[in-house]
Chains A and B, each alone.
Chain A
């Protein structure tokens, strides 16, 4: 079985984002970029399935500007086998991304697509579910455990009330949550090896997808900031403030 893992290049998790003066977006120039942390978890899960003998090949796909290929290399250094790069603007919307990825899936015929539950830039939480819909596959979102047997996947999902276990027919799309695993670091020999692994390029035209945005960004602004308040010196003073000053207890 082949596993397809879409990976997105986003502003590094540790960077404090800055909104551009002209309010057209956030500053991406000279900012450290990295693989979306949820996608790292997806890559790790695919690697573990391969190591457990449940999968033969792991194919990474990234959509974006040229540098998205670096994100593919990062995943190849973790241990994935090859990459597919699709040249498209950084802002390509989840619906278009889902259509492009579904197009790749039709060419590659994977048994599973494993992806992050959301990208930490636009926080949309849509692509996996959309891809699953377009392909007519089953979906298992927010996975915190994955096991495969007899053509189906049993997934424990993190839901608002706790945990839920579902069984989905394969092929399926799985979107992963934080606690599924802890992604590995790439070792130096694997980083060297990754340089020789193939990355194919596909174009939006070849996949026949209209990626014209449906949403236009009118502006991007800083949220209202919160002022630091006061320090209290004791529990008694704290209770007094909460009771008398702000009357919340």
Chain B
């Protein structure tokens, strides 16, 4: 049995969720190989070979993989699949895009978003926005899995020197092409791997008010998130969204500011270690999951918090 992990990377850096997917793979105590596909990926390849849990790195360095198009990546994974018992990828928009396509080409029923590994063929995954947990057993000889990164500890990105093997690409499928991207570049930590997350909701009233959260976030080294209501209202960009259909986070500290706590939002943050809620409505459901609740007007509480933090 050997496991293949698909390495997600951007701007020559391994995406943090990938390290958690490798963390999940290590639970099976079998050799783990990694696939790095991309265009000019020398740095990522080297970084991957330094991960202690990886025994071998397969590198497909070719133009057709530059933009992670599923139509190009899936045939490559399909070609490699026969050598593996399990293929893991992070349950990010990258993994969610390529893995089901790969699974269908292999005639395998994918297991999405696992949060626990019971045995090599049995896994736990949340359904109904995390309101239920299903334990499922796969009868497929090959298991294709996406991993909820917050449920598994990330492996250390050091201590190893895995063998590197260059492999051929599968060519451009010619079905789709990348045109442009508009990334909300930020100096703050990435939302899904940050130790502290501060999110704003509809109570923020305006996008400019998010600067209050950003100030506190910068003092604490935190990432900034938002509820769906805040994103829908245009207060924050889409990639800030925490919840069932946005990002799932589980930081040491989650601060919900002006967020009422709809089920769909709770699904994205209820596994956080400590939850703080600041809301002027003391009946808001967010207080039912918060470890510390402060009933206050956020427009007074946030500046005060900012001024009292070193």
| Interface-located stretch among A67-75, A119-127, A192-200 | A119-127
CB distance A164 to B178 under 8 Å? yes
Separation of A238 and B291 alpha carbons in the complex (Å): 11
- B39: min CB distance to chain A, Å: 16
Q: How many residue pairs between the two chains, A and B, have CB atoms under 8 Å in the bound complex?
A: 253
Which chain B residue has the least Cβ–Cβ distance from A117?
B245
B208 at the A interface (CB under 8 A): no
Inter-chain CA distance A230–B274, complex, in Å, is 12
Are the C-beta atoms of A217 and B131 separated by less than 8 Å? no
Does A58 touch B at the CB level, under 8 Å? no
B111 within 8 A of A: yes
User: Please, could you name 17 A-B residue pairs with CB atoms under 8 Å apart, sorted by A?
Assistant: A17-B128, A118-B245, A121-B128, A123-B128, A125-B96, A165-B182, A167-B177, A214-B109, A215-B138, A215-B139, A220-B127, A222-B131, A223-B131, A230-B292, A246-B273, A246-B291, A248-B274
| Chain A CB within 8 A of B288 CB | yes
Contact of A95 among B107, B253, B290 (CB under 8 A): B107
Main secondary structure of the interface of B (DSSP, over half): mixed
- Given the known inter-chain contacts A214-B140, A217-B134, A242-B276, please indicate yes or no for A123 contacting B244, CB distance below 8 A: yes
Q: Residue-by-residue, is B275-310 near A (CB-CB < 8 Å gives 1, otherwise 0)? A: 110000010000111111111100001001100110
Tell me if B6 counts as interface (CB < 8 A to partner A).
no
Residues of A within 8 A of B94 (CB): 159-160
- B232 pairs with A178, CB closer than 8 A: yes
Contact between chains at A160 and B247 (CB < 8 Å): yes
| Chain A residue contacts of B103, Cβ below 8 A | 95, 126, 130, 133
Does A148 count as interface, using CB distance less than 8 angstroms? Answer: no
Contact B293 A160 (CB under 8 A): no
Cβ contact within 8 Å between A238 and B182: no
User: In the complex, what's the smallest C-beta–C-beta distance from A40 to chain B, in angstroms?
Assistant: 14
What residues of A have a CB within 8 angstroms of the CB of B176 in the complex?
138-140, 166-169
A163 to B185, CA, bound (A): 11
Interface residues of B (CB under 8 A from A): 10, 67, 69-71, 74, 92-94, 96-105, 107-113, 122, 126-140, 174-184, 192, 196, 220, 228, 231-232, 237-239, 244-245, 247, 252-253, 263, 270, 273-276, 282, 287-296, 301, 304-305, 308-309
Q: Tell me which of B133, B134, B177 has the highest count of chain A C-beta atoms within 10 A of its own C-beta.
A: B134
Which residues of chain A are near B309, meaning CB under 8 Å?
A: 239, 249
Within 8 A of B (CB), among A17-67: 17, 19, 26
Q: Is A77 an interface residue (CB 8 A)?
A: no
Query: By the criterion CB–CB under 8 Å, are B292 and A129 in contact?
Result: no
Given A160-B239, A160-B247, A165-B180, A217–B97 Cβ distance below 8 Å?
no
Say yes or no: A249-B293 contact (C-beta < 8 A), given A126-B100, A139-B176. no
User: Across the interface, do B270 and A142 meet the contact criterion of CB distance under 8 Å?
Assistant: no
**Which residue in A26, A122, A144, A166 is a CB contact (below 8 Å) of B178?**
A166
The answer, yes or no, to whether A189 is at the interface (CB within 8 Å) is: no
Residue with the greatest number of chain B CB neighbours at <10 A, chosen from A17, A125, A140, A177: A125
- How far apart are A24's CB and chain B's nearest CB, in angstroms? 10
In the A-B complex, list the 10 residue pairs whose CB atoms are closest, starting with the nearest: A229-B291, A130-B104, A129-B100, A214-B109, A138-B175, A133-B104, A126-B100, A162-B183, A248-B253, A218-B135
Shortest B105–chain A CB gap in Å is: 5
Knowing A215-B137, A218-B136, A232-B294, say if A161 contacts B184 (CB, 8 Å).
yes
Establish whether residues A130 and B295, one from each chain, have CB atoms under 8 Å apart when the complex forms.
no
Nearest-Cβ distance from residue B166 to partner chain A, whole angstroms: 26
In the complex, whether A107 has a CB less than 8 A from a CB of chain B is: no
Q: For chain A residues 100-125, which have a beta carbon within 8 Å of chain B?
A: 117-118, 120-125
Interface centre among A98, A138, A154 (most CB of B within 10 A): A138
Residue A90 lies at the interface, judged by CB distance under 8 Å to chain B:
no
Pick from A117, A128, A160, A249: contact of B253, CB below 8 A.
Answer: A249
A249 to B196 alpha-carbon distance, docked (Å): 9
In the assembled complex, which residues on chain B have CB atoms less than 8 Å from the CB atom of A121? 127-128
Question: What is the CB-to-nearest-CB distance from A21 to chain B, in angstroms, rounded to a whole number?
Answer: 13
Cross-interface CB contact of B126 among A19, A177, A223, cutoff 8 Å = A223
Q: Is the CB of B238 within 8 A of A179?
A: yes
* Assembly CA distance A214 to B103 (angstroms): 12
- Do the beta carbons of B100 and A94 come within 8 Å of each other? yes
Tell me how far the C-beta of A53 lies from the nearest C-beta in chain B, rounded to whole angstroms.
24
Once the chains bind, are A144 and B238 in contact (CB under 8 Å)?
yes
